[in-house]
């Protein structure tokens, strides 16, 4: 089968590889749509977290051999460690993620555990269903933030995670501001219901979602919080914290990391995807995957979310 393979640092290639052989309890999904995640674009500069050769791809939908239309929760937890016992399976000590620890969906077929499947509504497109995984990340981030009704919320970054965070934040408040340097992406945020958009962030907010993860946005997320407010860090661009620790103490500000989602939050995202606007993806054939992936990795800005279609 054809697959887009991470073969060495900063390189993906379209290759012919052996089709997956499912283990006990697994099924093979024919991939119909798979999103390119920012964490993949930024995460293949070295092999610290992902080891080549690897088929990446964890945001996807497709069909099973018996004709079911599904999306897949790519976070596979052990179910037996202390954190799983606390209901925090996203922090499982033995977690595996499709496309990181085992072959993912940048391919024509992928083997997944049966229990990870979620059925799709008959009317939902496969491209929309490929957006459920990032949407689940936003559900988790806003659950961590626990904004009050009508809270002043800011989202830093209008990439995929920033835009789905806007969509989930709009479930809590009409006062959501989105900050990004790209006018095109800000235009999408405005269309999706942002109350204000711009390249800089002024004023103060009850909740700030950092969907970028740069040192500068880390710093800004703390600076623009009201005393006692909460910043939720979702982006993974940099490991540099970048903020003033004394401000955290003196104003009792909260900084919370957000990673993936619980199983219940993923299921919530499946339902939510039927009611929010996820129609801002750009489809590409898997055959063009290496080209579009490389262009995005080098900074192409006119595509907010690329979705590959095997």
Per-residue pLDDT reduced to its tens digit, 79-94: 999 999 999 999 999 9
DSSP state letter for 107: B
Q: Which two tokens stand for residue 191?
A: 């269309």
Asked whether the predicted pLDDT for residue 20 surpasses 70, the reply is yes
CA angle 190, 169, 69 (to 5 degrees): 90
Q: How many CA atoms lie within 13 A of 2 on its CB side?
A: 12
Distance of CA 3 to the CA centre of its chain: 21
- Domain ranges (residues) in the chain: 2-125+279-308, 134-257
Categorize the per-residue pLDDT at 47 as very low, low, confident or very high, splitting at 50, 70 and 90.
low
* Top-tier CATH class for 2-125+279-308: alpha beta
Looking at residue 192, what is its pLDDT? 98
Looking at residue 49, what is its pLDDT? 80
The whole-number average pLDDT for the span 182-192 is: 97
Looking at residue 238, what is its pLDDT? 84
- DSSP calls for 120-183: --TT--HHHHTTHHHHHHHHHHHHHH-PPTT--EEEE--SHHHHHHHHHHTTT-S-EEEE-S-H
Fold designation for 134-257: Rossmann fold (3.40.50)
% of the chain residues with pLDDT over 70: 99
Backbone angles phi, psi at 26, to 5 degrees: -110, 160
Distance of CA 267 to the CA centre of its chain: 15
Per-residue pLDDT reduced to its tens digit, 130-171: 999 999 999 999 999 999 999 999 999 999 999 999 999 999
Strands (DSSP E) found in the chain:
2-8, 11-16, 26-35, 54-55, 59-64, 69-72, 75-76, 96-97, 109-113, 117-119, 153-156, 176-179, 196-198, 205-210, 225-233, 254-257, 282-285, 306-309
């Amino acid at each position: 089968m054809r697959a887009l393979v991470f073969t060495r640092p900063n390189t993906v290639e379209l290759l012919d590889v052996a089709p997956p052989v499912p283990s006990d309890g697994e099924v093979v999904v024919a991939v119909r749509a798979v999103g390119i995640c920012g964490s993949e674009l930024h995460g293949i500069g070295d092999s610290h977290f992902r080891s080549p050769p690897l088929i990446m791809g964890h945001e996807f939908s497709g069909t099973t051999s018996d004709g079911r239309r599904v999306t897949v929760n790519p976070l596979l937890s052990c179910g037996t460690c202390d954190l799983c016992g606390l209901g925090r399976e996203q922090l499982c000590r033995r977690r595996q993620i499709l496309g990181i620890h085992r072959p993912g969906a940048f391919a024509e077929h992928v083997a997944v555990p049966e229990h990870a499947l979620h059925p799709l509504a008959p009317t939902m497109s496969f491209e929309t269903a490929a957006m459920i995984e990032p949407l689940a990340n936003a559900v988790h981030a806003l659950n961590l933030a626990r904004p009050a009704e009508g809270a002043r919320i800011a989202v830093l970054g209008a990439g995929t995670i920033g835009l789905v965070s806007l969509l989930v934040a709009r479930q809590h408040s009409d006062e959501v501001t989105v900050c990004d340097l790209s006018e095109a992406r800000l235009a999408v945020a405005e269309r999706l219901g942002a109350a204000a958009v711009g390249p800089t962030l002024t004023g103060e907010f009850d909740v700030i979602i950092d969907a970028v993860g740069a040192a500068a946005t880390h710093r800004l997320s703390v600076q623009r919080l009201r005393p006692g407010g909460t910043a939720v860090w979702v982006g993974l661009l940099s490991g540099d914290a970048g903020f003033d620790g004394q401000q955290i103490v003196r104003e009792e500000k909260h900084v919370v990391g957000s990673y993936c989602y619980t199983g219940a939050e993923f299921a919530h995202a499946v339902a939510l995807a039927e009611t929010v606007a996820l129609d801002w993806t750009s489809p590409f054939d898997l055959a063009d995957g290496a080209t579009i992936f490389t262009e995005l990795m080098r900074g192409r800005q006119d595509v907010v979310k690329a979705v590959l279609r095997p």
